[in-house]
Amino acid sequence: MNGAEWVLHNSSWLARISRAFIPEIDAFGRCLAERMLPAFSSIGHEADLVEKATYDALGAWAQEYDDPARDCQQAFDKGISFMMMMRDIQQGTINLFAAGLYHLCAQQLLLMYRRSGGRMFKQLDEKKVIEQLLKAGIPLKSFRSWKRVNELRLLANAVKHGDGRSCSELKELRPDLFVSPLDRDLGNAGRCRGIPVEQPVLGQGIYLDQGQFESYVECVKEFWQELASALDAASR
């Protein structure tokens, strides 16, 4: 089966897209808001507990040599450090979900290719599948969702690798994603342009918010809807 034939070979993929792929994307997207982010809702309270536990431990250890003012400052610093670290991890979780969203979509494309009889390549990735879809006359790059899906691809690569080609391209398209909430509030967006993106998995350098993530989820769902319509039209 050549590259143009495999994609039109099995019309059952139209049902698979609507019954499996889109619901999978939807469930993955909802998991962030409904299951992951609520775990960070008590960070402030947890920081208070860390501060109190630290203060109590310092007092018990020092006994008569205790300096309450010093202990209070150290305990406060410990609580603040804990809260900042957890805020970074919360941001990193959103970043990671965005990377996962793109790779889920890519894996769905690979599954569709393999299960439809596509066996042209020993080493397969979504770029080759997209190339075959284009050769089959499926106008992916004219889809309304295509620009945002490609943007999500760049974001996924930037989250995984930090600075690099994808990160540089994304900075041109979406410089707002590289401005921290604090710098945004202070009007310091320009200051962020020269800051290296080194640990986006730990919430540093890339600052995707929940609403932006959810807009990518809707975009990927729209991509599959557009692809289903194109496959249906091409198979007639």
Contact indicator for 101, 217 with CB cutoff of 8 Å: yes
The pLDDT score that the predictor gives to residue 193 is: 67
d(CA 127, CA 93): 26
Q: How many CA atoms lie within 13 A of 217 on its CB side?
A: 21
pLDDT digit string, tens, across residues 108-167: 998 888 877 666 665 678 888 888 888 888 889 999 999 999 999 999 999 999 999 999
pLDDT digit string, tens, across residues 11-60: 667 888 999 999 999 999 999 999 999 999 999 999 999 999 998 888 76
d(CA 209, CA 103): 19
Looking at the chain, the whole-number percentage of residues with pLDDT higher than 90 is 61
Of 68 and 83, more confident: 83
Element (H, E) at 112: helix 68-115
**What does 9-48 look like in DSSP terms, one character per residue?**
S-THHHHHIIIIIHHHHHHHHHHIIIIIGGGGTTHHHHHH
Q: Could you tell me which of 168, 126, 133 has the C-alpha nearest to residue 149?
A: 126
The pLDDT score that the predictor gives to residue 4 is: 47
Q: Could you tell me which of 12, 82, 24 has the C-alpha nearest to residue 52?
A: 82
- The average pLDDT across 168-174 equals 95
- The average pLDDT across 171-198 equals 82
Contact indicator for 138, 234 with CB cutoff of 8 Å: yes
DSSP state of 162: -
| 73 token code pair | 């400052």
